[in-house]
Structure 1
Amino acid sequence: MNISGNTVFIPGATSGIGLALAIELQARGNTVVVGGRRSELLRRIAAEKPGIDTVRIDTANAASIDSAAQEVLARHPDLNVLVPMAGVMRVEDWHDPVSFLDTAEATITTNVLGPIRLIAAFIEHLQTRPDATIMTVTSGLAFAPLKVTPTYNASKAAIHMLSESIRLQLADTSVRVVELIPPAVRTALMPGHQENEAAMPLEKYVAEVVSLLETQPDAKEIQVERVKFQRYGEARGDYDKVVEILNATDPHQ
């Protein structure tokens, strides 16, 4: 992915990694559109970050995705980068289905069906662009689980394999598939994460991501150094130790 000269749509970018990435990409000479459910946050972004366009979208709703896609493409027909960033991460207790089933289903709707529907809404258009990118967003937890978030872990593992698969299918097109793999980052994704000293500071994370995009334009995965502990545990042969350490330090247990 080229670091500048793109038109980028990032649904789920009204806060956290998505918004920080949107701001950095705009600063690097990209036209950026952010999407989210909350109109007040979109208005604030438009006021505080002139030049960043906004569109309301609920990535858990298929009709909203289709409507937002039409709106984005009407305003930005040169769109060539899609970053389906929206995601939810919630604690579950699988001892009792009453306590986890609704949460699990909602997680799959947002984290798996959301990206699939977004890609479906834009893939025909992206194939008309000479240099296009789909940047999926997974997690270090796709490779080593946090025991309190089973469905989140599974959803990110699903998106990892989806990325691997559609990259193969789209190899005969102009569309590249890049997977962004964050470690724990200090955002509001879960209560307490913004104060979690074990998580990576947001600004440091996004700066390293942008640096990797700039220096590794052909990378299939964007892995900051910190996430490699989780990403390669199985390959190194210390997967069980990685899982033990990860769950010993989690503040949500």
Structure 2
Amino acid sequence: MKMTGNTILMTGGGSGIGRALAHRFCDLGNDVIITGRRRPALDEAIAGRPRMSAHLLDVEDPEAILDFTRHLAATGSKINVLINNAGIMPLEDALAPRDLADAKAVIETNLLGPIRMIDKLLPQLLGQPDPVIVNVTSGLAFQPTARAPTYSATKAAMHSYTVSLRFALKGKIEVIELAPPGVQTDLTPGQATREGYQPLDEFADEVMRLFAILPTPPEILVERVKPLRFAERDGTVDQVLAMLNS
């Protein structure tokens, strides 16, 4: 993936990891379009950055995705990099009776949302030079937490989908997976200051250094996520699961 001269679409770019990476890509000389569900957060994220623009989009809504991608096509969008970052992580008690509304929303947002974005934007991406798809998964794609079983499952599914997509699009579109560890963001209550989680700026800086490697690694893995990613290889699954679920 080239680091400058792109037109990048970042879902979930109004806060957290999406915002931090969008700013860094913009600072390198890329045009960056961010999407999200909260207009004030989007406006704050693009303030003072003429190479950034923002659109309201809830990736849980398939009709909204269709309308948005049609708008991009109609306005002659030159997007060549799609970063599927939007996600939600409600904590769950799998033993408690519930209506599963949260679980359904997680699946729609974290799994079907990226799949739909890729499906609708694929023709545009194929028509641009240096096209790239980046799917943001999680260390929990490889070792889950019982506090967020549906979230963990959707990220595992997105890892698998990304591997398949990489083979299907070989020679046509570069497909990259970014799997964060626990990062200090507002993804869950109290996470922005949670001890042991990686500070957001430290994470984003490390990620950008990895993106700059030539050729770009198919998996962007900061050091803190490697114990989860390679637990099966290293024979440490029981220890890692105990740590995640303590």
Fold in common (TM above 0.5): yes
Worse-matched range after superposition: 62-71 or 131-140: 62-71
Matches within 5 A, 1:210-229: 210-229=208-227
Q: Secondary structure at the match of 2:94?
A: coil
Percent identity over the alignment?
A: 40
C-alpha displacement of 1:90: 1.1
CA distance in 2 between partners of 1:231 and 1:95 (Å):
27
Matches within 5 A, 1:226-245: 226-245=224-243
C-alpha displacement of 1:219: 1.1
Q: Which residue of 2 aligns with 1:143?
A: 142
Q: Which residue of 2 aligns with 1:161?
A: 160
RMSD: 1.4
**Does the 8 Å CA contact 1:7/1:76 hold for their aligned counterparts?**
no
Q: What do the CA deviations read for 1:38-82 (whole angstroms, capped 9, x no partner)?
A: 122223333343321111111010111112122334445221000
Q: What letter matches 1:209 in structure 2?
A: V
Task: Please list every run of 5 or more consecutive structure 2 residues that lacks an aligned counterpart in the other structure.
Answer: none
Q: Which residue of 2 aligns with 1:8?
A: 8
Task: Please list every run of 5 or more consecutive structure 1 residues that lacks an aligned counterpart in the other structure.
Answer: 249-253
**Does the 8 Å CA contact 2:15/2:45 hold for their aligned counterparts?**
no
**Does the 8 Å CA contact 2:8/2:33 hold for their aligned counterparts?**
yes
Q: Secondary structure at the match of 2:9?
A: strand
C-alpha displacement of 1:236: 0.5
Q: Which residue of 2 aligns with 1:130?
A: 129
Matches within 5 A, 1:20-31: 20-31=20-31
**Does the 8 Å CA contact 2:136/2:178 hold for their aligned counterparts?**
yes
Q: Which residue of 2 aligns with 1:80?
A: 80
**Does the 8 Å CA contact 1:59/1:114 hold for their aligned counterparts?**
yes
Q: Secondary structure at the match of 1:68?
A: helix
Q: Which residue of 1 aligns with 2:169?
A: 170
**Does the 8 Å CA contact 1:73/1:79 hold for their aligned counterparts?**
no
Q: Which residue of 1 aligns with 2:205?
A: 207
Q: What do the CA deviations read for 1:186-244 (whole angstroms, capped 9, x no partner)?
A: 00000010011110000000000000001244311000011001000001011111111
Q: Is 1:63 equivalent to 2:63 in the alignment?
A: yes
CA distance in 2 between partners of 1:242 and 1:37 (Å):
34
Q: Secondary structure at the match of 2:93?
A: coil
Q: Which residue of 2 aligns with 1:37?
A: 37
CA distance in 1 between partners of 2:139 and 2:45 (Å):
29
Q: Secondary structure at the match of 1:145?
A: coil
**Does the 8 Å CA contact 1:7/1:32 hold for their aligned counterparts?**
yes
C-alpha displacement of 1:247: 1.9
Q: What letter matches 1:117 in structure 2?
A: R
Worse-matched range after superposition: 210-219 or 146-155: 210-219
Q: Secondary structure at the match of 1:182?
A: coil
Q: Which residue of 1 aligns with 2:244?
A: 246
CA distance in 2 between partners of 1:119 and 1:139 (Å):
19
Q: Which residue of 2 aligns with 1:111?
A: 110
Matches within 5 A, 1:89-100: 89-98=89-98
Q: Which residue of 2 aligns with 1:251?
A: none
Q: 1:73 to 1:23 in 2, by over 3 A?
A: farther
**Does the 8 Å CA contact 2:6/2:31 hold for their aligned counterparts?**
yes
CA distance in 1 between partners of 2:37 and 2:49 (Å):
18
